[in-house]
């Protein structure tokens, strides 16, 4: 085997977003020697983009909130496909994790009496999101990074992991390359935590950064882990739609939480006409009540703009399809109207939503304190991910852990806003702790040189070919997923997508790059493409298998929920012979005491 620069760790964390950093801190606190690998620079992981806040039942703004309400909201939002144990741990532990973050120096917005301020968000019964204006992710990353660096971890920045290494029936490390110099790097580790984020770059219109190419999902799949719930891709209802160059960039739900309303071109608040039965009792039936809710009136019910994302996104699509959309194919989101109600309205909007104000001013030349925004759905988040044990976060592969967006289970068919940042903290901590424990009980495995050599050879092949540009294949893949496996799905279109994915795989095998290995964007794209193709096929096959509409999956050919399908999760894994196997797996029965909680919160 060739000589590679080699690093030995007890715990290797792949990803330096909220989940990865929190896992690294905990593994280190448990005595493990920890390495962190990140595709981007430290501080630049996708978590930094998070805007609206962290969901935790602190009950600072509404004393009626507690873990039970948060648990019930999360399960209802996920249409009861969630791993109930994860939802329980998440609801119970999120407040502790937020206070801990505060203890480490995070400066949250404050209530008048000095406690952490919480805001309204879709699907949360009470104001629950701890936030820092609309820049919560930045504060979270800054705090975790500062704290983590002092607790001890070695960081490998701008290094992309290409494969996980297995030996003796468990994980043995990872192999990747430095993006800057193109040199290969070998990591030997007793335990590995995947914290690589999402898959948004499989779609044309997305709020996700360039990093989101589903690497962790694909690495885990190739290593023998199962992925679950992959049909559930969240299309956030409010992304920018104009100008074309910024299409997909997120407009935080915080705008609606602060009183922003959605209207069609006729000026009608169309969401009032379509309130799902299971939310009717909790939803305002007139505009005045909705407004009072956003201003903290405890006797008011939420406006329909704060229903779950899957529902709001579908209503927007309907308005556009039926000819009631805005000029550029979206609808209007208006926060400027609150100036009639709030003293010093324009300054208030700028204070509550500083990033949104600047985003629209700079990118679209729109002053959101004066005019409505044009918004439409954008690919935002993947509920599906690596199947993990709820308490330990270990996958089906011994020694391989996953946390954050690349792990599945917590959110079921639809994630509530704010439940990702809390997910990162709660399950990042658990993954780090259990990875460290696993490392204590297991030595470093011997590596399989053939696996490493084959990965290195394969990675360099694009330099040796004359063929197609990888960007073109990536572009065609994104168009295909957007058109055929997007918000509204049909069997016949998804079958067509599978055929076209096969063709794209053939083309991807022939892509060529020029130049050398140093900072070669074409080469990076050629390598990312492999993961995007696997993930796209997994999403498509899982979506075909779920013959119903539920949460984020809307099937035009099966427009209703199917009670029988509600008992299964769809799992996808790679067989020993390399086939993609899709299976329906029964959900575990929920204990009576948690069923009771849900019944009480209806
Ligand atoms: C614009 C926007 C706003 C959002 N706002 C909110 C919000 O207000 N509240 C909320 O709860 N959620 C929000 N979300 C969702 C939330 O931000 C993400 O789900 C969350 O940050 C994911 O964190 P993570 O730690 O799992 O992954 P990330 O933060 O994405 O980190 C992934 C890490 O993995 C690394 N990586 C990936 N592949 C590889 C590889 N092959 N090799 C090495 N490293 C790799 C990356 O470089 C990165 O360091 C928002 C999302 C977006 C896009």
Written in H, E and C, the secondary structure of 88-108 is HHHHHHHHHHHHHHHHCCCCC
Q: What pLDDT shows up at residue 535?
A: 98
Q: What pLDDT shows up at residue 336?
A: 97
3-state secondary structure of 171: strand
- Residue 53 CA, closest ligand 1 atom number: 8
User: Does 90 participate in catalysis according to the annotation?
Assistant: no
pLDDT digits (tens, 9 = 90+) for 453-467: 999 999 999 999 988
Please tell me which residue in 125, 131, 256, 434 is annotated as part of the active site: 256
3-state secondary structure of 192: strand
User: Does 256 participate in catalysis according to the annotation?
Assistant: yes
Q: How many Å apart are CA 380 and CA 353, to the nearest integer?
A: 20
Expressed in angstroms and rounded, the spacing between residue 197 Cα and the centre of ligand 1 is: 5
pLDDT digits (tens, 9 = 90+) for 552-565: 999 999 999 999 99
The CATH number fitting domain 449-564, selected from 1.20.58.100, 3.40.50.170, 1.20.970.10, 3.30.365.10: 1.20.58.100
Strands 261-263 and 184-194: unpaired
- Residue 18 CA, closest ligand 1 atom number: 25
User: Assign residue 210 a region: left if phi > 0, alpha if psi is -120 to 50, beta otherwise?
Assistant: alpha
* Residue nearest ligand 1's atom 47 by CA: 39
- Residue 253 CA, closest ligand 1 atom number: 8
CATH architecture, domain 235-379:
Alpha-Beta Complex (3.90)
Q: What pLDDT shows up at residue 121?
A: 87
pLDDT digits (tens, 9 = 90+) for 4-58: 999 999 999 999 999 999 999 999 999 999 999 999 999 999 999 998 899 999 9
* Residue nearest ligand 1's atom 8 by CA: 52
Q: What pLDDT shows up at residue 451?
A: 93
Q: What pLDDT shows up at residue 426?
A: 98
What is the rounded average pLDDT of the residues 272-291? 93
Q: What pLDDT shows up at residue 134?
A: 84
DSSP H helices in 110-253:
136-151, 215-222
* Residue nearest ligand 1's atom 20 by CA: 47
pTM as predicted? 0.95
Expressed in angstroms and rounded, the spacing between residue 300 Cα and the centre of ligand 1 is: 34
The answer to whether the beta carbons of residues 13 and 214 sit under 8 Å apart is no
Question: Is residue 338 pLDDT above 90, yes or no?
Answer: yes
Give CATH for domain 4-232+383-441. 3.50.50.60
Please tell me which residue in 236, 314, 524, 550 is annotated as part of the active site: 236
Q: What pLDDT shows up at residue 122?
A: 87
The residue ranges of every structural domain in the chain are 4-232+383-441, 235-379, 449-564
Expressed in angstroms and rounded, the spacing between residue 227 Cα and the centre of ligand 1 is: 18
What is the rounded average pLDDT of the residues 304-327? 93
Expressed in angstroms and rounded, the spacing between residue 46 Cα and the centre of ligand 1 is: 4
Kindly indicate the confidence band of residue 150, based on its pLDDT and cuts at 50, 70 and 90. confident
């Amino acid at each position: 085997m060739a000589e590679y620069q080699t690093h030995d760790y007890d715990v290797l964390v792949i990803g330096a977003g909220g989940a990865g950093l929190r896992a690294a801190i905990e593994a280190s606190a448990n005595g493990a020697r920890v390495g962190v690998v990140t595709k981007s620079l430290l501080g630049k992981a996708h978590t930094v983009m998070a805007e609206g806040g962290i969901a935790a039942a602190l009950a600072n703004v509404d004393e009626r909130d507690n873990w039970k309400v948060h648990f019930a909201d999360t399960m209802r939002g996920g249409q009861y496909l969630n791993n109930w144990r994860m939802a329980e741990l998440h609801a119970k532990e999120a407040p502790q994790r937020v206070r801990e973050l505060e203890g480490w120096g995070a400066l949250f917005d404050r209530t008048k009496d000095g406690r952490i301020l919480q805001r309204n968000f879709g699907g949360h019964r009470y104001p629950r999101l701890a936030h820092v204006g609309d820049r919560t992710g930045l504060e979270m990353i800054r705090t975790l990074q500062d704290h983590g660096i002092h607790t001890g971890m070695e960081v490998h920045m701008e290094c992309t992991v290409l494969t996980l290494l297995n030996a003796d029936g468990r994980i043995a490390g990872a192999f990747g390359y430095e993006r800057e110099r193109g040199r290969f790097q070998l990591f030997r580790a007793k335990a590995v935590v995947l914290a690589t984020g999402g898959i948004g770059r499989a779609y044309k219109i997305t709020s996700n950064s360039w990093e989101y190419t589903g690497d962790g999902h694909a690495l885990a799949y190739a290593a023998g882990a199962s992925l679950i719930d992959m049909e559930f891709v969240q299309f956030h209802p409010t992304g920018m739609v104009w100008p074309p160059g910024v299409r997909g960039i997120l407009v935080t739900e915080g705008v609606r939480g602060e009183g922003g309303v959605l209207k069609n071109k006729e000026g009608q608040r169309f969401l009032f006409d379509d309130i799902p039965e299971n939310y009717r009792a909790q939803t305002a039936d007139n505009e005045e009540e909705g407004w009072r809710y956003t201003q903290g009136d405890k006797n008011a019910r939420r406006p329909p703009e704060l229903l779950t994302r899957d529902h709001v996104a579908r209503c927007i699509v309907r308005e556009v399809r039926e000819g009631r959309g805005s000029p550029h194919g979206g609808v209007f989101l208006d926060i400027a109207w609150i100036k009639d109600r709030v003293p010093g309205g324009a300054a208030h909007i700028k204070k509550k939503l500083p990033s949104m104000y600047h985003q629209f001013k700079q990118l679209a030349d729109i002053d959101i304190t004066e005019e409505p925004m044009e918004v439409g759905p954008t690919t935002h988040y993947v509920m599906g991910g690596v199947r993990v044990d709820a308490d330990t976060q270990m996958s089906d592969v011994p020694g391989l852990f996953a946390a954050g967006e690349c792990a599945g289970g917590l959110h079921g068919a639809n994630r509530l806003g704010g439940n990702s940042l809390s997910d990162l903290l709660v399950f990042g901590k658990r993954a780090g702790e259990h990875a460290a424990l696993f490392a204590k009980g297991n030595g470093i495995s011997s590596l399989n040189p053939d696996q490493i050599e084959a990965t290195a050879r394969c990675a360099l092949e694009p330099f040796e070919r004359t063929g197609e540009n990888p960007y073109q294949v990536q572009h065609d893949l994104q168009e295909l997923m957007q058109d055929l496996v997007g918000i509204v799905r049909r069997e016949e279109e998804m079958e067509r997508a599978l055929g076209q994915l096969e063709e794209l795989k053939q083309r991807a095998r022939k892509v060529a790059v020029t130049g050398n290995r140093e900072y070669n964007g074409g080469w990076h794209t050629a390598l990312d493409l492999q993961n995007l193709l696997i993930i796209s096929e997994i999403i498509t096959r899982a979506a075909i298998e779920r013959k119903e509409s539920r949460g984020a999956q809307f099937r035009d050919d099966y427009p209703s929920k199917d009670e029988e399908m509600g008992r299964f999760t769809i799992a996808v894994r790679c067989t020993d012979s390399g086939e993609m196997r899709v299976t329906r797996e029964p959900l575990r029965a929920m204990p009576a005491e948690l069923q009771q909680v849900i019944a009480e919160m209806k």
